[in-house]
Amino acid sequence: MRVILIRHGIAHDRADPDCPPDPERALTEEGERKTRKVARGLRALGCAPTRILTSPYVRARETAQLVADAFDVDRARITLTEALLPEAAPHALFQQLFAFNNADEEIVCVGHAPNLDKVIAVALTGERAPVTALKKAGAALLLLDDLPRMRGALGWLMPPKVLSDLG
């Protein structure tokens, strides 16, 4: 299974006194624009997701919808999951992915730091200590061969600037 992990795009600054609670923070206009370019870059790489899993936080859902639009993924194939919340345990996402193991070949997962970096670390090393630092709207491709075993290989890791340039 190919799993594309995408960190949500740029959201409203937490330091802003008018900023809503963390789960309700939305993408900024710049975040939306850059995320659209990133999604086009993923298309240029030949990505072809059949399903999207996303954190229920607003900024992640908005990112997931922009990706869905770029790939014509039906809304019914977008699944909200707490396995992609910032502090979720990596094994929760692997269990969620296992549910789709035979039905979907490529799945996009939209989430947050530090969760996504811990998912990558567990897949590559078996440990939770991060070995990557995904930037906002950055993406990584994990190649998982044996779910629910939490092992895989890193196909690529792309910062948003590179993906934007591809798109």
pTM of the model: 0.96
Question: What is the pLDDT at residue 167?
Answer: 81
Instruction: For residue 97, give the 3-state DSSP assignment.
Output: helix
Instruction: Give DSSP secondary structure letters for 22-69.
Output: GGGPPBPHHHHHHHHHHHHHHHHTT---SEEEE-SSHHHHHHHHHHHH
pLDDT tens digits, one per residue of 65-78: 999 999 999 999 99
- Is pLDDT of 103 > 80? no
Q: How many other C-beta atoms lie within 10 A of the C-beta of residue 119?
A: 32
Q: How many other C-beta atoms lie within 10 A of the C-beta of residue 145?
A: 9
pLDDT tens digits, one per residue of 33-42: 999 999 999 9
pLDDT tens digits, one per residue of 6-63: 999 999 999 999 899 999 999 999 999 999 999 999 999 999 999 999 999 999 999 9
Q: 136 pLDDT band (50/70/90 cuts)?
A: very high
Instruction: For residue 165, give the 3-state DSSP assignment.
Output: helix
